[in-house]
Structure 1
Amino acid sequence: MSVFNQPRRRVIQLIILGMMSIIIVRLFFLQVVEKKYAKLADANAVLRKVVYPSRGIIYDRKGRAILSNDVLYDLVVTPRSVKNIDTAYMCTILKIDKEEFKKKIADCIKKNGPVRQTVFMSLLPAEVYGQLQESMYLFQPGFELIPRQIRSYPYGAGANILGYIAEISPTMLKDSNYASYNSGDYLGFTGLEKTYESVLMGQRGIQYLVKDNLNRPQGPYENGEFDSAAVAGKNLRLSLDIELQALGEKLMHGKIGSIVAIDPSDGGILAMVSGPSFDPNLLTGSYRSANFNRLYQDTTLPLFNRAIQAQYPPGSTFKPMIALVGLDEGVITPSTGYPCGGAYYGCGRPIKCEHHDAGHAANLRLALSHSCNSYFSHTYRLSVDAAKWGGIRVGGMQKWADYMNNFGFGHKIGVDIPSERPGRIPDKKYYDAKYKGSWNSCTNVFLGIGQGEVETTPLQMANAMCIVSNRGSFFIPHFVKSIDNDNTHLLDKYKERHVVAHISDTAYSAVIHGMTDVIESGTGRGAQIEGITMGGKTGTAENYAIVDGKRTKMPNHAQFVAFAPAENPKIAICVIVERSGFGAKYAAPIASLMIEKYLKDSISSNPRRQAILKTVLETVTIPEAMRAKSKLDSLNSTVIKKRP
């Protein structure tokens, strides 16, 4: 052997010797110094018990717990340990037969192996748990009852906001994103439960117990030396006002649509209603799965959060933004008027205006208060056809789309619950693709009155009212105001003020004055609240559906947006009631009642306000065919609410 190979051989020998030394030292530590694993391995009479932590509580803006924790029990099994138990009696208690018992054991083995503890039957009803607890010694070794915390909702409101928790699925367990979870663990699937899972979940603990000859726990092993304590999840403090939320859900009963209310000063969401709503207590406990299937199949789609997922043409509620663009571009001034005689004819076909009286669009304030279609169709065309952009197909259309994107349209805003949709703001690329380059401002003139291809969500429209009332700034709308004992940066992005570039305070003032006129003397007079100055805008969006293969006109969607008090806004709101006609009929009164409740903490007892409340509560706008097939009301009535 060459002398040159000697050093290499010695290096290899040293590496092997070093590795053997590390192994020997580690074995010595485990077997001699560290007694924990040796003791646990030798203690065949030791029961390892997982201790699940308390999940974080969620409080509203006034410190009221809007969900809390109750306890149910899971029956868990270690299949290989099941020996000589009273199977027949267990089947009687669980109301299953022996074949189903065998199938459940086989499923547990398939799911988690024969030696690992697996949930045999989850969230046992109280009567079943009681019978099992009394006779548990008959089912050991192998079976055990483990406490499981479930959610309860004392106000029975806010289901689409809060979300629900459920057992992790086998598919999710294979995902590296869920590496810290075990079979049988529960986690948030939707809403705030999902978004803030990392802080709500807490940390599991382990407890070792000594068992007697009947496998009954007798006490802690080694005085709890090897136990690890469970760490409770952190609590969330919301901007949500649960009483306002509950009122909104009550007002929307029998209707399809949404209410979104935001505090413009910080972007905190005060209420988010999706109608029809359901009681969140339906999705907790042993009947969660069955109730979920019923809700999923219901004709009114209660699981669909219309506040962030439904996309509507905004109709005339879009006109304040059209005005702001026109003012900022300099194509109109607050004193600019338009000679509307009942329709706009600038594109060779009439665009109907609801007003015919002379002078109803003599300036911007009048045009806003009367919601003149001609005025805003004309303003839109002036903006996109401006010579400084080279016309609509060179730069005008894209510039307009950029404005709308800055107002929060055409993209997700970033609210802290999942499944938000972006809406749609068509731009140059969109129209070039659709019309092969042959289009002009008359092709999409309906954008000026919030129709055509534009679509917005109720959340986006409420946020736009924050921008207007704040005269050009907003915070990303969010629910969670603070997290107890928080050392993360989860909420940092919601505390940053965003400014809509370069639109002047003068422009905002002109639009705000026009919107206050809407309430004082215009189309939104029905929303007036004594002692409160409000800015608002009614809207009526055309609604089409495909019936028998044809695009068919359906009843219009009613919309209303507002902010109050106008001089120092504390609430901005958007209300949409599908298929209910003009925005002033139902959407405006609902918004008015919500604003009054929030600002005055109650609704006035005077006859006028009580008559409005009574009318709204009694009104049903869900189509009869849909209502006849819906089981939602009867399902909600099965919940026994635990009121605070």
Structure 2
Amino acid sequence: MAEFHQSRKNIIRLIFIGVFAVIAMRLFYLQVIETKYRQLANAQAIVRKLIYPTRGIIYDRHGRVVVNNTALYDLMVTPSEVKHLDTAFLCELLGIDTATFRERMEKIIIRNSRYRQSVFAELLPPDVYGRIEENLYQFPGFELVERPVRNYPYHAGAHIFGYIGEVDSATIRRSDGFYQAGDFIGKTGLERSYEDVLRGQRGVTYLVRDSRNRIQGSYAGGMYDTPAVAGKNLYLSLDIELQQLGEQLLQNKIGSIVAIDPNTGGILAMVSSPTYDPNELSGSERNKKFSRLFTNPELPLFNRPIQATYPPGSTFKPVDALIALHEGVITPQYGYDCRGVYLGCGRPIKCTESFPGHASNLYNAIAYSCNSYFSQVFRFIVDRERRPALGLAEWYRYVSDFGLGKKLGIDLPGEYSGYIPDTAHYNKIFGKGHWNSCTIVSLGIGQGEITETPLQLANVMCIIANHGYYYTPHVVDSVEGDPDFYRTHLVLHRITANVSDTDYDIVTRAMAAVVERGTATIAAIPGITICGKTGTAQNFTIINGKRVELKDHSLFAAFAPREHPKIAIAVVVENAGFGASWAAPIASLMIEKYLRDSIATDRLPLLKRISEANLIPEYILEKKRRIDSLNQVRDKLEARRIVAR
């Protein structure tokens, strides 16, 4: 009997031990292994608040702030804390419907989990922010968080500075967790090229709240907080006032201006027109405004200085002159008896001048832009060894050396290379041995398949101004905290062909004659010797499947002063006719502004005439009117839908 009682005690002890063991293991699991309940407890007591860093400030060459930061607010949400929410009222304040509300919440939970604070509505307009702030106590789980956004005080330089936008899922994956949903990243321009420098580092602070959801202070004395680190500042070669003048001159026109300091390669101005106020893509309406810009047939988002390509026309003639002089196929005294047309290849090539002696030597041929002269000079270059394939290959080597047909490496994304045809190109089209210098003679006057970007055209002017070298074109001169940046980015490129200073002097003297007595006298500035070259490029478009000839493009390329050049410039105005009509006076005003810091009083009427002229083709204006009409209808329908809510 005693043994039976002892056995029963042991069983009871084992039961108690087993129960305690189960409880202990469960507690261990809940407190050490399982994180769900810990997250729930922390979510109730600890608030994780993101601190967005300010992006680096951008300054122009004179220390003026051209890109700054201002503050807007994001509405953040932590889904696990959303309880007893008046969804209809919140949707009314935000101007959305309940279906949109549910869709956003689902996406946030899938992307970031229920316990992480995420962006629910970004960059709230001031009126919406005010209404939300007044009623925020009614929306548990929601919080307003300040976000720095970009501000552009000069309302210029959109294509240079670029814009920022929310990261997509692919970017988040590629960043190995650095970016999170709701973060912003540079999308275009300097914002994209220098994203790693400008973005800074996001911070996090943890706050403790009581059972009534009131913030009591920092968690653990701030031990786990991470401070936000501001981005680094950029200092540019850009002159923002020169940029503003360029945008004024090109308003209501399609085209480009690129101005470079030939001594450094620094971009002084880079205008793409039509353009837009960069502030449009910075505020709360940016998505709507981006859509309008994207569908605009004038293509205001297209960065023409580095992405548009054109036949250079007669602006290419100084390059052919340097090649011919260096190869010894002409002398400066060589002349051609042009009577207004070139017949050397059996088909007429028109020349804009026909008066006797306008091509009596190289100086006059450049000054009066004789097509006949340079058609013959090009044939001399290609035929000098009686083998056109070898002659064109040598010409191609020279032209490539001048930075054409390849990217120059500017610190902006999306640069195009242009195109220079070579021997292989014509062998493919005509067959090996079935073409000669007459087949491709249009290359000698900058036509045919040859295309350049406005940046390349301005860079050629730098090479001629410097007598055979250039620096990699760049917008950023220095970066805060990086003393070696300028030295490592100031890359010198020397033309491998050893063209003599004498040959450069001959060509620059001829280019000075262009402005003094030739095709671009309208560009003359008293007291400043400008070396320039006009150009007129053929232009067409396709409308309803048919080729339609349009007014020629107006081009002008130059540098000044002739001695100790300080600015090289290229101007392209589409559908504007002769180079002297529009491009040359625009370049002249830009040169005067940069070298003298103002425009002379007697030249202000010229400035006014150019600024007020509208040269956008009618077929583009008609497209724009149709799209604007559709946008107006869409806006009215949207307004009615909002009122109906």
TM-score with structure 1 length normalisation? 0.89
Spell out, residue by residue over 1:165-218, the C-alpha distance to the aligned partner (whole angstroms, 9 max, x if none).
0110123222x2464211111110000000000000011112111123333433
Q: Distance in 2 between matches of 1:449 and 1:493?
A: 37
- Offset of 1:340 from its aligned partner? 1.6
Which amino acid letter does the alignment assign opposite residue 167 of structure 2? I
DSSP-derived class of the 1:562 partner: strand
Report what 1:619 is aligned to: 613
Which amino acid letter does the alignment assign opposite residue 411 of structure 1? K
Which amino acid letter does the alignment assign opposite residue 161 of structure 2? L
Q: 1:585 aligns with which of 566, 581, 593?
A: 581
Q: Distance in 2 between matches of 1:243 and 1:539?
A: 27
Contact 1:72-1:124 within 8 A present in 2 as well: yes
Verify: 1:512 aligned to 2:511, yes or no.
no
Report what 1:459 is aligned to: 455
Q: Which has the larger radius of gyration?
A: 2
Report what 2:94 is aligned to: 94
DSSP-derived class of the 1:349 partner: coil
Spell out, residue by residue over 1:391-420, the C-alpha distance to the aligned partner (whole angstroms, 9 max, x if none).
221x21111111111111101111111111
Report what 1:166 is aligned to: 165
Report what 1:295 is aligned to: 293
Q: Distance in 1 between matches of 2:541 and 2:69?
A: 44
Contact 1:76-1:120 within 8 A present in 2 as well: yes
Report what 1:26 is aligned to: none
* CA 1:232–1:633: 2 relative to 1, 3 Å: farther
* CA 1:216–1:72: 2 relative to 1, 3 Å: farther
Report what 1:48 is aligned to: 48
DSSP-derived class of the 1:101 partner: helix
Of residues 368-377 and 539-548 in structure 1, the stretch that sits farther from structure 2 once superposed is 539-548
Q: Distance in 2 between matches of 1:433 and 1:451?
A: 19
Report what 1:23 is aligned to: none
Q: 1:408 aligns with which of 403, 407, 414?
A: 403
Which amino acid letter does the alignment assign opposite residue 361 of structure 2? N
Which amino acid letter does the alignment assign opposite residue 108 of structure 1? I
Q: Distance in 1 between matches of 2:73 and 2:526?
A: 53
- Offset of 1:103 from its aligned partner? 2.3
- Offset of 1:68 from its aligned partner? 0.7
DSSP-derived class of the 1:135 partner: helix
Report what 2:123 is aligned to: 123
DSSP-derived class of the 2:306 partner: helix
Contact 2:43-2:115 within 8 A present in 1 as well: no
Q: Distance in 2 between matches of 1:622 and 1:93?
A: 42
Following TM superposition, the consecutive aligned residue runs of length 4 or more in structure 1 with deviations greater than 4 angstroms are: 38-44, 489-493, 631-635
Which amino acid letter does the alignment assign opposite residue 460 of structure 1? Q
Verify: 1:265 aligned to 2:236, yes or no.
no
- Offset of 1:346 from its aligned partner? 1.4
DSSP-derived class of the 2:291 partner: helix
Report what 2:139 is aligned to: 139
Q: Distance in 2 between matches of 1:504 and 1:476?
A: 22
Spell out, residue by residue over 1:421-475, the C-alpha distance to the aligned partner (whole angstroms, 9 max, x if none).
1100000111111112221111110000000110001000000000001111100
Q: Distance in 2 between matches of 1:279 and 1:43?
A: 43
Which amino acid letter does the alignment assign opposite residue 613 of structure 1? L
Contact 1:137-1:215 within 8 A present in 2 as well: no
* CA 1:44–1:618: 2 relative to 1, 3 Å: closer
Q: Output aligned runs, 1:484-495, within 5 Å.
A: 484-486=480-482, 492=487, 494-495=489-490
Which amino acid letter does the alignment assign opposite residue 618 of structure 1? E
Q: Distance in 1 between matches of 2:210 and 2:560?
A: 69
Q: Distance in 2 between matches of 1:348 and 1:56?
A: 62
Unpaired segments ≥5 residues, structure 1: 1-30, 32-37, 636-644
Verify: 1:61 aligned to 2:61, yes or no.
yes
RMSD: 2.2
DSSP-derived class of the 1:592 partner: helix
Verify: 1:72 aligned to 2:68, yes or no.
no
Verify: 1:564 aligned to 2:560, yes or no.
yes
Q: Distance in 2 between matches of 1:493 and 1:40?
A: 52
Contact 1:524-1:538 within 8 A present in 2 as well: yes
Q: Distance in 1 between matches of 2:303 and 2:144?
A: 37
Verify: 1:279 aligned to 2:273, yes or no.
no
Report what 1:436 is aligned to: 431
Q: Output aligned runs, 1:587-606, within 5 Å.
A: 587-606=583-602
Which amino acid letter does the alignment assign opposite residue 192 of structure 1? L
Q: Distance in 2 between matches of 1:326 and 1:121?
A: 64
Unpaired segments ≥5 residues, structure 2: 1-31, 33-37, 632-645
Verify: 1:243 aligned to 2:241, yes or no.
yes
DSSP-derived class of the 1:335 partner: coil
Q: Distance in 1 between matches of 2:84 and 2:99?
A: 17
Spell out, residue by residue over 1:567-591, the C-alpha distance to the aligned partner (whole angstroms, 9 max, x if none).
1111100001111110001110100
Report what 1:28 is aligned to: none
Q: 1:481 aligns with which of 470, 473, 477?
A: 477
Contact 1:423-1:456 within 8 A present in 2 as well: yes
Q: Output aligned runs, 1:236-385, within 5 Å.
A: 236-385=234-383
Report what 1:104 is aligned to: 104
Contact 1:475-1:494 within 8 A present in 2 as well: no
Which amino acid letter does the alignment assign opposite residue 410 of structure 1? G
Spell out, residue by residue over 1:220-245, the C-alpha distance to the aligned partner (whole angstroms, 9 max, x if none).
22222221211110000001111110
Which amino acid letter does the alignment assign opposite residue 552 of structure 2? N
Contact 2:49-2:117 within 8 A present in 1 as well: no
- Offset of 1:129 from its aligned partner? 1.6
Contact 1:195-1:416 within 8 A present in 2 as well: yes
* CA 1:243–1:449: 2 relative to 1, 3 Å: same
